[in-house]
Amino acid sequence: MTEPQNTPVPYGTNGDFDTEACNTTNNPVFADVLKTFIERRGFLKGALSAAVGVAVAAKSGELLAKDAVVDELEKSFNDNLAKNIGLPLPTRPTFAAVSTARTPGITVPAGYTARSTFKWGEPITGSYPPYRADGTNTGAEQEQQIGQHHDGIHFYPLAGFDPNRRGLIAMNHEYIEQAYLLRDGAVLTGNRPADDVRKEIAAHGVSIFEVERLANGEWSIVRGRYNRRITGGTEMEITGPARGHPKLVTAWSPDGTRTRGTLNNCGTGETPWATYLTCEENWAGYFVNRDATRPREHTRYGVPSTNSRYRWDTAQERFDCSIKAASAAGDFRNEVNGQGWIVEIDPHEPFSTPKKRTAMGRFAHEAAVFAPPRILQPYVVYSGDDSQNEYIYKFVSRAVHTPGYFNREALAEGTLFVAKFNADGTGQWLALDFNDPAFRAAASAANVTFTDQGDVMINTRLAADVVGATRMDRPEWGAVDPRDGRVYFTLTNNSARTAAQVDAANPRGPNPFGHIIRWREDGDNAAARTFRWDILLLAGSETDSVNFVLGQSARLGADSIHASPDGLWFDAAGTLWIQTDMSGSQQSSGPFGENSMLAMDVRSGVIRRFLSGPPGQEITGVTSTPNLRTMFLNVQHPNENGAGLANAFPDGPGTRPRSCTVIVEKNDGGIVGT
């Protein structure tokens, strides 16, 4: 659903802040390309299997032959299997799929146990104020408790302990449902009470806490020194090309080097140096700019012109980006420009200042996924812009990977590229680089002026428009196959694409069910400027879907139908996990049951539904212990807008619904997913 841009959300409805459609450009679309798409698949199959010899020694930092790259990945994959997981690895998935039947709780296959834990409101730090079930926890208390609307999650083993029994959890809190968060629900008229706003801001952001597996198999929160809340109000440092930029100057940060808070934290990324990336997605709606003339860095992202989403501006002036003073240092016209970034947090340094990585672009970031790092090669990070007709990006760091030495500022500098998917199965990465002559020429041809690289990054969407990137069906999470480096991305759905606007990479218009696209970088070099792509599957019903691994006439079956794929993750054993985020009627009345998680073997094409959740939620975020015996995933906004509220999840009838983590283990101690 598309958020109404300029109207407050009425009491009793949560609103669905999944997408804020703002792309009014006319970037290329191709008619009648499903045919081209299917023809091209034959071509692609040959192209992908062709070996090309471009070998130079790895030590020199130059490219290995593509087969050698895959050999290198397979070796490290197998080394990890032997070290952490154990061999031989059973062929997966082999569990009996769960059905689409709607139940009030979590359903997992026979032989598995799922436990709800790490719930919204559980105390993790400070004076550990207990959760109060009547909604009366204050803003100050919420700042010491787990936030609402869990999303991306990651588990970090802690040095000195059994890596499969003790570690740190870092997780995002994407947004809130006021009806459950506040004692009296939301009243979105007039001025908001200051402490309600404080509580709402505190329910956003990130929670970090230590956890331990107890002898009885449960996991509990340790009151440890790493525990920390990062919220929509935490001080953050701006790094990269937009640091100190005039468009980041505010009354609070006159030199434009700092900002406050991270908002709408959707998916995650985990760096090779064990820090946490949290991605700011639908942040624009938290602000308002009521000026008659609004700058492009507001309009292209959909900053509202009448009211902010939760009317926080009525309690905290920084959410009002209208011009009020003689200069930017006297007001908050640029406050919203401090949002839209990927933020790097070191969970092992509880007093560290989170860093906004402006070199990685500003858009509705879903998540961030690293290509496997390779010696003396740059780090490569993929991120999608989840809004209708927006783009897929790739960041290539200036720093190179040097084992044993982790450059903690590796994400501060680099080049951002945007993807163009051609109808013939090839693709290009187009640089959004102020110093790149091709970029300058494209901007000039489009009559768009940028002042510097900071301006390009603050206006990333506009920069991608001018180079002619391919408008996608809401790019969500990505995942990289640890065995061969191939990249997969979910495209969740797109109600705005018309039949005349389909293209090879987005072959349905409208696209109610979504699909999963994948590509292989040329030469298997993650930093390559060109790639080859195809589509893994078109999600949908048993009559309107395609599992291309099994052939273009293969449909999804009762065990695997799904819609609106969103979360995506390769575990260390090579299984692709797909999480769904259907909203509205698709979830409540479609053939797909409630939002779920599926496991797929992308090589054999076997795909099965592994878990299904309660009404009104989405399954999002997944991580595991290194041995793959404990899986952590999140249930966000259970019983949204009252769906199934009589059996509130997870605490039962008569309680407030609470987003929470679900821990899944196999009863025989085996690998989850087998």
Which residues are near ligand FEO by CB under 6 A?
18, 174, 266, 281, 366, 386, 476, 566
CB of 22 to Ca ion, least distance (A): 17
Spatial distance between the Cα atoms of 95 and 115, rounded to a whole number of angstroms: 18
Place of tokens 């009252």: 642
Q: Is there a cis peptide before residue 510, judged by omega within 30 degrees of 0?
A: yes
Q: Taking the C-alpha atoms of 548, 554, 557 and 561 in order, what is their torsion angle to the nearest 10 degrees? A: 40
Residue 15 vs 167, nearer CB to ligand FEO? 15
Burial 258-269 (b: 16+ CB within 10 A, else e): bbbbbbbbbbbb
CB of 476 to ligand FEO, least distance (A): 5
Contact partner, 331, from ligand FEO, Ca ion, none, Cβ < 5-8 Å per class: none
CB of 23 to ligand FEO, least distance (A): 15
Q: Which of 3, 9, 14, 18 binds Ca ion (CB under 5 A)?
A: 18
Count residues binding Ca ion (CB under 5 A): 4
Residue 147 vs 673, nearer CB to ligand FEO? 147
Beta strands (DSSP E) in 73-130 are 112-117
The sheet carrying 265-270 orders its strands as: 258-260, 235-239, 355-357, 342-345, 276-280, 265-270
Stretch that binds Ca ion, among 12-20, 408-416, 504-512, 588-596 (CB under 5 A): 12-20
Helix (H/G/I), strand (E/B), else coil: 140: helix
Contact partner, 455, from ligand FEO, Ca ion, none, Cβ < 5-8 Å per class: none
Q: What is the DSSP string of 456-484?
A: HHHTHHHHHHHHTPPPEE-EEEEEE-TTT
Stretch that binds Ca ion, among 30-38, 239-247, 287-295, 559-567 (CB under 5 A): 559-567
Stretch that binds Ca ion, among 15-23, 62-70, 285-293, 553-561 (CB under 5 A): 15-23
Closest-by-Cβ residue to ligand FEO is 266
Give residue 447's identity as a one-letter amino acid code.
Answer: N
Contact partner, 281, from ligand FEO, Ca ion, none, Cβ < 5-8 Å per class: ligand FEO
CB of 281 to ligand FEO, least distance (A): 5
Contact partner, 618, from ligand FEO, Ca ion, none, Cβ < 5-8 Å per class: Ca ion
Residue 17 vs 156, nearer CB to Ca ion? 17
CB of 353 to ligand FEO, least distance (A): 25
Residue 174 vs 346, nearer CB to ligand FEO? 174
Place of tokens 């895959």: 70
In the region spanning residues 574 to 593, those forming contacts with Ca ion, defined by CB under 5 A, are: 581
CB of 241 to ligand FEO, least distance (A): 25
Residue 283 vs 649, nearer CB to ligand FEO? 283
Residue 174 vs 484, nearer CB to Ca ion? 174
Spatial distance between the Cα atoms of 283 and 280, rounded to a whole number of angstroms: 6
Spatial distance between the Cα atoms of 517 and 419, rounded to a whole number of angstroms: 12
Strands 235-239 and 355-357: parallel
Residue 174 vs 331, nearer CB to ligand FEO? 174
In the region spanning residues 616 to 655, those forming contacts with Ca ion, defined by CB under 5 A, are: 618
Closest-by-Cβ residue to Ca ion is 581
Q: Burial of 661 by CB count in 10 Å (0-12 exposed, 13-18 middle, 19+ buried)? A: buried
Q: What are the distances in angstroms from CA 547 to CA 36, 40, 109, 557, 655? A: 18, 16, 23, 10, 41
CB of 581 to Ca ion, least distance (A): 4
Helix (H/G/I), strand (E/B), else coil: 230: strand
Q: Which two tokens stand for residue 492?
A: 């969740």
The separation between CA 492 and the C-alpha centre of its own chain, rounded to angstroms, equals 12
Residue 92 vs 461, nearer CB to ligand FEO? 461
Q: Which of 313, 566, 594, 640 binds Ca ion (CB under 5 A)?
A: 566
Contact partner, 174, from ligand FEO, Ca ion, none, Cβ < 5-8 Å per class: ligand FEO
H-state helical runs in 161-221: 178-181, 194-203
List of residues contacting Ca ion (CB under 5 A): 18, 566, 581, 618
